[in-house]
Amino acid sequence: MTTETRSALRAVRRLGLWWVVGVIAGAGLLVVGLGQVRPGGYLLATACAVGGLLRAIRPLGRAGGLAVRRRSVDVVCWLGLGATVAVAFALVRL
């Protein structure tokens, strides 16, 4: 394994599992773009909830890009955003 490869792997490990949230949110945006607004919105809400759960269970050194503030504040913000997005898309009438 080359030095560049090792450096890239270390950078990915430092970022943690934020990419999981990005993949789910991207899938939600794709579904919304394909015309299925409510299911896509629920995927976006799920991405936020997953972000909150990952932040809650991952230790600080392994939370990566999900760690912005104190753990409790991050978890409340992620889960609150997920609940708000879910309610907003539940109320959409299209």
What pLDDT is recorded for position 77?
A: 92
Q: With CA atoms as reference, report the closest residue to 85 among 28, 36, 31, 34.
A: 28
Following DSSP, what letter does each residue of 1-60 receive, concatenated? --HHHHHHHHHHHHHTTHHHHHHHHHHHHHHHHTT-HHHHHHHHHHHHHHHHHHHHHS-H
Residue-level pLDDT, tens digit, the chain, 94 residues: 677 777 766 766 666 678 888 899 999 999 999 999 999 999 999 999 998 888 888 777 666 666 677 878 888 999 999 999 999 999 988 7
pTM of the model: 0.79
- The pLDDT score that the predictor gives to residue 11 is 65
